[in-house]
Structure 1
Amino acid sequence: MGNQKTTKVKQQYYIPLEVKEGTIITKEYEEAPRTWSKIGNRRVRTILIPATEEQYKAYMQPEWKEDKRQQRLVEKRKKREKAQAEHRDDSSVQGWDTPVSFERLCETEYGFLEKTGQAGLEEILEKEELLEALHRELAKLEELDQTILQMVINGSSEAAIGQEVGLSQKGVNKRKHRLLEQLRERLEDYR
């Protein structure tokens, strides 16, 4: 009983290739049996092509995501229909395809509901103006300063930035803080 060996059977993976009019099939798969497989939400006639686990997952991942998205849409639609049947307004089940009256849009500031914490139209326009001003100010900076800020945004450490631009870590730190302070001052009108 102590010397029993368990053998692990390696799982074989197959990628379903849909067979329809115009599908080009190589000679090695001409005689392969056709089976019904599910691709996404559709059942289709396929040939099963042997693949590695990595190939299988890379091929099927988008299909799985789309299938899950479709399932969520169906669930949301059912909840919405149930809420409508009960004559109650449930904004949590409203989707992009939910019809909305013009009056309802005006009440919620054109779809930006306050209770969700989303900004109103005026606040969005202010943020867009701020972003435009920020882009203008960033374009005025020296190339070295732009590089430092870009690397900071990408999450690089000050030591890594220093090696890239030829400054010490302390020099990068001082320059970064000076740049951020300058940007704050220049964009003071947009706060």
Structure 2
Amino acid sequence: MANQEKNRVKQQYFIPLEVKEGTIITKEYENAPRQWWKIGNRKVYAILVQVTKEQYEAYMRPEWKEDKRQQRLVEKRRKREKAQEERREDQSVQGWDTPVSYERLCETEYGFPEETRQETLDEILEKEELMEALRQELAKLEALDRTILQMASNGISEAAIGREVGLSQKGVNKRKQRLLEQLQEQLKDYR
């Protein structure tokens, strides 16, 4: 019985509402207990508002993303400092905050080696022909297949696609792979 109570408590999600001068609090939360809570890297005096898992994840995702970015930045700086101590250059730790000489920028065409290359007229025409052929092949597909490919191209997981179209994750995976192989075969002349 105690384990069931623990599991139920674990499934509750809360968003901290920071209480400070000027915070407008509705009657529902007027007498709610306030406590110190951590938001990002700072502690705040807050009321905990119970929410669904989806609301909690949507609220916290930017915080998690920023924390992860900060962790990566600290790790990159640590690696760069270690490389400097050992008097070696490590290209993998070059970041937006790394000082770069003018000569280095000139060597790499101002940091954008591939982007500065101009496409020829033939390359542009080939791309347009490929895109037109791809549009024609996609138009021939069933609506379900087009939906799967469109959702996959938008970065939606196979499990989420499966829930949307009524297939299992494995079914979506197999169908997507088959469609990609089919399109690759039909567009092989454009390579």
TM class, shorter-length: 0.5 to 0.7
2: CA distance, partners of 1:66 / 1:40: 8
1: CA distance, partners of 2:69 / 2:120: 31
Give the drift of 1:24: 2.0
Q: Which residue of 2 aligns with 1:125?
A: 118
Q: Taking structure 2 as the reference length, what is the TM-score of the superposition? A: 0.59
Note the 1:132-171 alignment, pairs <5 A.
132-134=124-126, 136-137=128-129, 147-148=139-140, 151=146, 154=149
Partner SS state of residue 154, structure 1: helix
2: CA distance, partners of 1:152 / 1:7: 43
Contact 1:138/1:146 (8 A) holds in 2? no
2: CA distance, partners of 1:89 / 1:82: 10
Q: Taking structure 1 as the reference length, what is the TM-score of the superposition? A: 0.59
Structure label with greater radius of gyration: 1
Percent of aligned pairs with the same amino acid: 59
2: CA distance, partners of 1:140 / 1:72: 41
Corresponding residue pairs, total: 153
Partner SS state of residue 83, structure 2: helix
Q: Which residue of 1 aligns with 2:80?
A: 80
Q: Which residue of 1 aligns with 2:47?
A: 47
Distance 1:84 1:63, change over 3 A: same
1:27-66 CA-partner distances (Å, limit 9, x unpaired): 1212223322222222222111122333323322332222
2: CA distance, partners of 1:60 / 1:99: 33
Q: Which residue of 1 aligns with 2:98?
A: 98
Structure 1 unaligned segments of length 5 or more: list them: 113-118, 157-172, 185-191
Contact 1:40/1:67 (8 A) holds in 2? yes
Give the drift of 1:26: 0.6
Distance 1:86 1:138, change over 3 A: closer
Distance 1:15 1:140, change over 3 A: closer
1: CA distance, partners of 2:43 / 2:61: 17
Give the drift of 1:127: 8.3
Contact 1:19/1:45 (8 A) holds in 2? yes
Q: Report the aligned-residue RMSD.
A: 4.0
Q: Is 1:62 aligned to residue 32 of structure 2?
A: no
1: CA distance, partners of 2:83 / 2:26: 53
Partner SS state of residue 125, structure 1: coil
2: CA distance, partners of 1:140 / 1:13: 48
Distance 1:126 1:77, change over 3 A: same
Give the drift of 1:90: 1.6
2: CA distance, partners of 1:147 / 1:42: 52
Q: Aligned AA for 2:82?
A: K
